[in-house]
Structure 1
Amino acid sequence: MQEFKINSASVAHMATQVRVKQLATRDSQYKVLASIVETWEKNQADKSGEANYKEIIKDLKEYSTLSKSINDYFHEQKIPATDLGYPIKFNKTDLQLKMAYKYAKQQDDNLIAQIKNGHFYNNQYCYVDSTKLPVLQADNSDSYYGNENSSVSSVLLASINASLGNKDINMPGAATFFPFYNSKYTTLPKTFTKDYDSSNENGMMLFGDYQFGGHRYLKYQFIFGPEDCSSSVGKATGLATEQIKTITTREMRENYSQYGYELVTELKSIDEQQLKLIQPGDIYLRGTHTAIIATLPDNESNITTLQFARDIEYATEKKISGGGLYNYNLSEQLKGHSSNPIYILRAENSKPLDEEVSSLDFLNKIDNAYTDLYPNGPDGDVVGDCSIFFEDLG
């Protein structure tokens, strides 16, 4: 996608959310990789590569089976989200593990060499392009972000590290521990928790920078924590933490004024005068999904948005996971769907940046600020807001 100008605080904030989670994920994955390689090198005199590979495959299969059993247990027991929390209720760990296991098995003895060389799931290299943000639904054969590659790689690396008997490593940006929403509710039988490192009687480790519900119910909000579409938009538009905890797409549509939003226009069909009302930094809201609009509509009603989304089901051909850019053609969206309008909202406190900056220059600024603050990557969850990376722009 083309370079664009950033002149809105909400666009800057959303771009920063996406970028710093990318950078933290990269650094977390490399830390786990270093632990894996160190152990392999220590063990190479006592254990062949083939033996290591067979052990990894065995454990990945076991982790995948256990993870599915956990989700099946939640479903069979009809345990509500009010006990589990939405991120756990709708977690995709068993699916990610199934993908990781299937991929690892296909690689045969080449898996270890590939991992050592920094090539992870789908043989993709964990590369953050300094010139652009991820494009959601990007081809998984040549892009690491915007699809399933990054989150499945995190699961793959964490599983190999556990298989080797290494201690757990914090993975800010890539993985977050979620306690059960009801802290008095212990739901997992010990059969599941004693053999599976990603769960215990208090909650579960979930992988990826998207989780359903974000991490809004946690006591603190983290700079590198996962988001969903509405939590990320809420943060981009400067909502207080208590408001972040309640915002949903339904609340945004039905009670937008409680969040300091105003209705710019409701699109049921394409009208040129309505399109002229739309500005970068406005909120796109349709059905159960929302995003920040990054560009003015062009003469064919195309817009570029910044958003967090996830669809990594097996049946989905081009998968989406995490934060990034996504284009919409508003005319095509509404064709034959006037009963499902597009709402354009605007934060009443919406303000331009003190200076307009190109997306390329902005990303360079964020990358440099991140490196200054976290030269070796963050060691754990960092409480705060990602506006610290661009606060001098106003």
Structure 2
Amino acid sequence: MADMKEMYKKIIGDQFPDEMKITLGDQTLVYRKRTWVIDGEERGLRYGENPDQQAALYELVNGNLVLGDCHYIEPGNGLVSAISEEDMIQAGKHPGKINLTDVDNSLNVLKFLMDNSACVIVKHNNPCGVALGDSLEDAFTKAFRADRVAAFGGCVALNRPVDKATAEAINSQYFEVVAAPDYEEGTVDILKQRKNLRIIKIARIDRLEEYWDKRFIDFKCLIDGGIIIQQSPVNKIRSKEDLKPAECEYQGKVYKIKRLPDEREYKDIIFGWAVEQGITSNSVIYVKNGVTVGIGTGEQDRVGVAEIAVYKAYTKYADIVCFDRHGISYKELELKVEKGEMDKALKDEIDQKVKEDRGGLPGSVMVSDAFFPFRDGVDVGIRQGITAIVHPGGSLRDWESIEACNEADPPVAMVFTGQRAFKH
């Protein structure tokens, strides 16, 4: 049996070519494999998704692809694929595939949040905490506190130059990667105290909004060697004017939503729909005041993922309450109570607060990447005190979901995006 600890330390190398060409009809895209000289050793990716998988990163360097009326992204727009040795301010060690795909998916969400200081924390290619803030430190702190547990060892992406307050906040926790458009004087020294932290500068982060509508070719390789090719998606929701009040017709009767979102809810709807672009489907999330509250990802049924997002909201809320009160995680408290090292009353107090506050869910917006096929998913959120819902619409039973919102006391707002946000 291989020694896993030793496998994680090694760079396995790869046999992939230095150049790759993809021809689509009479047009050819040319890609160059990226390597970096770190500690005197030139290598590409450390390994793939697992330490026994070879992997390579390629940057688009030539070819302007036009198919029909769609102009795909052109060379010279590199973000993650263009990272150089100089951009790896502290490499820690050669990056692996997951390090870079986590950064990439962070930017995939961050590009919709450029009007405010924002932070996206990704773990296993899914956001675990996303937040807007009055400052960069505020955004980071809110994103981290949204899910302290999952953020451990994650990737932090920021859309403003890192200042000292933010650097100190990041340095107080364990992360694998931090990516930002720049680092103010003295901040790198703070971050370098974490010797294995990969500190990456991606200069084009300050221009991320330009990537909002840029399409790329998305490949999915099959186990038989076949390939499915598709356009990348485009988020069409930029403002509340792009949303439609929930309305449908069923058996000759028109069903309309009673209440439309207020301004705060509209802001959270647009924020939540942006976060959805980076989450594995099927997904349902809850957001409030520009912060994720509960994120449910990758489930097979919609009511199930709505319930999982509630469960996660409750558990994350319990953890942060416990940490604020006792300086330890909720799971540590549970273990200490079981061992008789801490009073069970301390745990009971936290459990009671979580129950009373319903995991911080009341007042939040429920966001679904696809329509609700039945009202059961909507009812899950309504029972937790959500005040507004956004989803694509288009179900034969949209009328049930509209009725559920109208029957709620007070009525819950609902709007349709008219587009789905599946990400497989």
Which TM bucket (shorter chain)? under 0.3
TM-score of the pair, normalised by structure 1: 0.25
Give the greater-gyration-radius structure (CA). Answer: 2
Q: TM-score, normalised by structure 2?
A: 0.23
